[in-house]
A = this chain, B = another copy of it.
């Protein structure tokens, strides 16, 4: 019962394995009577093809791995959701790999210890330097997500962080805010993502003739609402005052809302806040969050397109695709 093989079906149906295989794989040139004969044998025995054997024979696994730091972070969870959907539509299954943002785990992702596990990898690094990624083994197709400076040899999908940060900052400037802070970048080992967003923030302030006050650039211990809230609390207790806040991500923004509220500061009246990622919770915070919304569906589709091309044998230089974004204007920083 447990182990019905292709051969068993062939025996029962009185045909060869090849014929059964043709039926199983919906190969068109099989006569109807042969097909039904085989099909009833399959049904009778409860045959199911063995995935491992098929994979060994074809060399394709039908699996992709999706690697990033932590599915517990809403942005990644929502990204995983959409990538999983699209992968399923394309006939792939998705393997989930969490790196917790450690260099060690990230290394394990790019230097696959096993061959033939997955057909391709979608990877959003948090720590790994570009040069190291470049040395990754060529044999498993790889697409990078996120804003790190990807090596030339590897495909990459990203959004224009700097441009979006400029828009976000300009939005606050247009509201008449002049003491605009930045919240939530890593304290040490700044990720490229944070750097780019910070850069955009600075460019926008410079362009508006507003000088950057370094005391308003508030790092957070980790990418979590709690750490961001703590950081804002300390800044406020420290006497620092701002009327606008560009946040590295929505979690930071949510932490900020909390800390500002505790200090009796109103959002957006006293401090206007812009988040980043447009996680689904952003519409339900109080006040709801104005936030930079990356086109996640596009990110997923582009990554999968490129990955499938690589799987199909394409071996040109790495392609770097920029996907769009928009600023979702909500209560925390309303339209001016």
A284 and B254 form a contact (CB under 8 A): yes
Interface hits, A272-318 → B, CB 8 Å: 280-281, 283-286
- How far in angstroms is the closest Cβ of chain B from A102? 12
- In the complex the two chains form, is B74's CB within 8 Å of A81's CB? no
Q: Does A324 count as interface, using CB distance less than 8 angstroms?
A: no
Measured between alpha carbons, how far is A51 from B115 in the docked complex, in Å?
A: 6
Task: Say if the beta carbon of A50 comes within 8 Å of chain B.
Answer: yes
Point out the residue from B49, B72, B283 that lies within 8 Å of A280, measured CB to CB.
Answer: B72
This chain: copies in complex? 2
Query: Chain B contacts of A59 at CB under 8 A?
Result: 52
Any B CB within 8 A of the CB of A167: no
Minimum CB–CB distance from A236 to chain B (whole Å) comes to 17
Contact in complex: A114, B71 (CB < 8 Å): no
For the complex, is A95 an interface residue (Cβ under 8 Å from B)? yes
CB A16 to nearest CB in B, in angstroms, measures 21
A214 on interface, CB distance cutoff 8 Å? no
Interface residues of A in 122-151 (CB under 8 A from B): 137-139
Task: Determine if A320 is an interface residue (Cβ-Cβ < 8 Å).
Answer: no
Segment of A26-34, A176-184, A255-263 engaged in the interface with chain B: A255-263
**Contact partner of A114 among B50, B88, B97, B283, CB < 8 A?**
B50
Q: Which residues of A contact B (CB under 8 A)?
A: 1-3, 46, 48-53, 55-56, 59, 61, 63, 66, 70-72, 74, 76-78, 80-81, 84-85, 88, 93-98, 112-117, 137-139, 224-226, 229, 254-255, 257-258, 261, 280-281, 283-286
Sample of 19 A–B contacts (CB below 8 Å) = A3-B115, A48-B113, A48-B114, A50-B115, A51-B117, A52-B52, A52-B56, A56-B56, A70-B81, A71-B71, A71-B84, A72-B77, A72-B81, A84-B98, A88-B98, A96-B96, A229-B284, A254-B281, A281-B281
